[in-house]
């Protein structure tokens, strides 16, 4: 079973620029999550999709962050404009279904550096 794929692996941009991250979940997984992990901290949930609908985006900074999951498969997370404090690893995860008895499977993330 192929895992969660993310690209790019690394990205360096200047503040006020825009950036996009891509995620391809495990085939058949209906639920998709984006997390932000700042150095030295645990991952923090940004947004959760069920198929192509948003379940929870309460922690997504909507003034600069946006995410979509067209056709209920791949997803993109965008930051526009980026700030220095957005430097972090952005992790995508997927799960076969919603519910609390369904483990998440994570990709290896995109490491973003904002200079």
Partner 1 sequence: DAKTTQPTSMDCAEGRAANLPCNHSTISGNEYVYWYRQIHSQGPQYIIHGLKNNETNEMASLIITEDRKSSTLILPHATLRDTAVYYCIVSGPGGGADGLTFGKGTHLIIQP
28 binds partner 1 (CB under 8 A): no
Residue that is written with structure tokens 């932000």 in the block: 36
Say if residues 75 and 90 touch (Cβ distance below 8 Å).
no
> Among residue numbers 38 through 77, which ones bind partner 1 (CB under 8 A)?
40-45, 48, 55-56, 58
Nearest residue (CB) to partner 1, 19 versus 48: 48
Q: How far is the CB of 81 from partner 1 (least distance, A)?
A: 26
Closer to partner 1 by Cβ: residue 71 or 103:
103
- From candidates 29, 33, 86, 94, binder to partner 1 by CB under 8 A: 33
Its sign, for the CA torsion 7, 59, 18, 54, is positive
Is the distance from CB of 94 to CB of 27 less than 8 angstroms? no
């Amino acid at each position: 079973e192929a895992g969660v794929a993310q690209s790019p692996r690394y990205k360096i941009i200047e503040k006020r620029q825009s950036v996009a991250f891509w995620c391809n979940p495990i085939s058949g997984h209906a639920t998709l999550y984006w997390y932000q992990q700042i150095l030295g901290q645990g991952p923090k949930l940004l947004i959760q999709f069920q198929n192509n609908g948003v379940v929870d985006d309460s922690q997504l900074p909507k003034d600069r962050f946006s995410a979509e999951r067209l056709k209920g498969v791949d997803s993109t997370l965008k930051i526009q404009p980026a700030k220095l404090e957005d430097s972090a690893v952005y992790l995508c995860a997927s799960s076969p279904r919603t519910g609390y008895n369904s483990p998440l499977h994570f990709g290896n993330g995109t490491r973003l550096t904002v200079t």
